Structure 1
Amino acid sequence: MEQHAGAILSPMELFAEKELVTVAAPMVRYSKLAFRSLVRKYGCDLCFTPMIVSDSFVKSEKARHSDFSTSTDDRPLIVQFAASNAESLASAAALVAPHSSGCDLNCGCPQRWAMQEGYGACLIHKPELVAEMVRRTRAVVANPHYTISVKIRIHKDTRSTVSLCRQLEAAGVSFLTVHARTSEQRSEPVDLETLAAVVSAVDVPVVANGDIRSLEDAHRVQRITGVRGVMAARGLLANPAMFAGEDYTPLSCVEDWIKISLETGAHFTNFHHHLIYMLDKQLSRAERRYFNSLASVVGVTEYLREKYDLNL
């Protein structure tokens, strides 16, 4: 789990002090410690872990060690859980509370397996259950600075989304992240009107998720909706320096990723896949084909050293 203990910072200080809080989304396989360390160097204020299934996390020490790792520099950090009952979420939160800044309940994952298990986006149709999960977790984690948040997708009916968010605010949620698509939608434009309606209806900070591919997108969404933060996923994969205002991944960021990966012992597949995303717009089709076929850290680093004259 944690490499060494350190002070915990409250994410709420970010919302109080910053005009716009920039957030790295929970991404399966990708939101791990090494990548969080990278995006923090380039203007990302708050990071989420990948989604962790609370039941297995609570029951298995092996799952805890494989699913969650952090360090004293990895702050503020939100640990996101998939849970289907209050006891499971509260117990998981209690385990990570000494090593993180907050926990988040995933009510947005639209994948079929998750919803069949009672996780993810199906929970937006069970507002009383989600509210009880928030209340129970708040009661179990005594630290008043520890945040309990929820990430949702929206209903087809705006009023239902607003009602859910008001119930969660009443239950004691610290902030809300709204992916402004329904669970059936994938690439359709996000619903900024519903997002703005949520912002107007609650007093807790709201973070926008979906279609944030640049710093310009982030400011545009804030200007239209009034959100206090923006969360990016694919945009950060393609350009980890996005929140620093870079239009594409700078070579300094590529160098930093290689150094961080080597220092932390990141798995080759993870190391390589991140670089594939980062360099997608900078390599020709033939170069991408060759680069994507490389099968070792040495092969990857030698290629990049020769092509870009990197200081590795």
Structure 2
Amino acid sequence: MPVYESDIQDEGLACHPPSLDINPLQLFDITKGENRPLYAAAPMVRYSKLAFRETVALYGVDLTWTPMILAKEFNRSILARDSDFTTSLFSPPTIAQFGCNSPLEISRATTLISPHVNGIDLNCGCPQSWACAETLGAALMNKRELVTSMVASAKSRLKDLGYENKKTVSVKIRVHKDLRETVDFVRAVQGAGADFITIHGRLRSTPSSKPVDLEAIKLVAQHISVPTFSNGDIFTLADAKEHAKFTGVDGVMSARGLLENPALFRGDENCPWEVVEAFMEKVVRAPLPFKLVVHHLGEMGGSDRSQKGKTLFSKEERAELMACEGMVELIDWCEEMRERRGRRSH
């Protein structure tokens, strides 16, 4: 879990990121005072890496999540820790999400990562078959007692470490077909000490192509007294406001929308060029695999929902992007793109 030394040398900063002093519950109070929901970047496998988290935090995201980290591997392997989680002096308020099915493993993982993050989150929402086969993710929605014991274990460990009321334990869920089961689940999780809950309004079997069930989120949220997030189908700032107003939740969380347009919570309808430059600067400081960088840029410059027919890259420019064979070539392409945009503006 390295802190990038270049940040220290280049900026002359202390080794304690100011964001670590923020309890996520404080963010709910702040955004409530601003009469808006709290804006969060969802945990996404492969994509929620440090460079992307730092980028979206520049454009309106209040709270970020890591990708799901397998607690068992994280605990047993230094290599797993260094590859699964990185931080920096510019890291925004961050929640570490774990895939776990053992109170002991979540306690150990909490011990290792808590000094570097603002909270611990238990993934009870991942629908992927491999995760469910290991009793992880959405499979835990049918293991209420196990989940409550893991929440209690993480809370107890934070208290022992001196982080009580300073860092949070939360749970991200999907809903059951019978919402009464979901209500029983969230009540139990809340009783075990969960500080807030994220509700993804789809069943484990519901594909992302099917609209999120806002009625389900609304009903479940009505039975929770701690803060709540709505997750699913947030592609614009208008979506975020409408979801929060309809469901009554305290925050909204976006995944695919932020991939396409990291500035959506700032209110931009399309991904602006400045985001590409900001992202590339973050990548230089916190390197990502080359193909992942290309994928991120392809999402930002593509023609998906958030672009509304106006893409950042032309078809020819996308072809150039995909033809890049390494980071040096990609950086040169970005420089050429900047010059082209400068010529167009004159």
Q: Same fold (TM over 0.5)?
A: yes
Alignment of 1:120-135 (within 5 A): 120-135=137-152
Alignment pair present for 1:195 and 2:225: no
- CA RMSD for the aligned pairs? 1.5
Alignment correspondent of 1:164: 185
| 1:170-229 CA distance string (max 9 Å, x none) | 110000011100000012111111111122111111101110111110001011001111
Q: Percent identity?
A: 41
Tell me what 1:292 maps to: 322
Residue 24 of structure 2: aligned partner: 11
Say if 1:71 and 1:308 are closer, same or farther in 2 by CA, change over 3 A: closer
Gaps of 5+ in 2: 4-14, 304-310
- Trace 1:244-255 onto structure 2 (pairs within 5 A): 244-255=266-277
Question: 1:286 deviation in Å?
Answer: 4.2
**Cα distance, 1:147 vs. partner?**
0.4
Which residue, 256, 259, 264 being the options, matches 1:242? Answer: 264
Per-residue deviation, residues 105-142 of structure 1 (Å, max 9, x unmatched): 00000000001111000100111110111011111111
Partner SS for 1:216 = helix
Per-residue deviation at 1:236? 0.5
What's the TM-score once normalised by structure 2's chain length?
0.86
* Alignment check: 8 A CA contact 2:69 2:97 kept: yes
Q: Distance in 2 between matches of 1:258 and 1:73?
A: 15
Bigger drift between 27-36 and 64-73 goes to 64-73
Q: How does 1:143-158 map to 2 (within 5 A)?
A: 143-144=163-164, 145-158=166-179
Count of equivalent residues: 311
CA distance in 1, matches of 2:81, 2:336: 40
SS in 2 for 1:18: helix
User: How far does residue 163 in structure 1 lie from its aligned partner after superposition?
Assistant: 1.1
Partner secondary structure for residue 230 of structure 2 = strand
Structure 1, unaligned runs of 5 or more:
none
Q: Distance in 1 between matches of 2:131 and 2:101?
A: 10
Alignment-mate amino acid for residue 327 of structure 2: V
Q: 2:76 aligns to what? A: 59
For residues 217-276 of structure 1, the C-alpha deviation after alignment (integer angstroms, 9 at most, x for no partner) is 000101100111111111001001111111111111111112221233333222211111
**Structure 1 residue 2 displacement after superposition:** 4.0
Residue 178 of structure 1 corresponds to which residue in structure 2? 199
Match of 1:49 among 66, 71, 86: 66
What's 2:43 paired with? 26
Q: Contact 2:294 / 2:321 at 8 angstroms: preserved in 1? A: no
My pick for the range that moved more, 267-276 or 288-297, is 288-297
Question: Secondary structure of 2:233's partner?
Answer: coil
Contact 2:230 2:252 in 1 (8 A): yes
State the match for 1:262 in structure 2: 284
Contact 2:120 2:169 in 1 (8 A): yes
* Counterpart Cα distance in 2 of 1:87 and 1:224: 39
Query: 2:57 touches 2:92 (CA, 8 Å); kept in 1?
Result: no
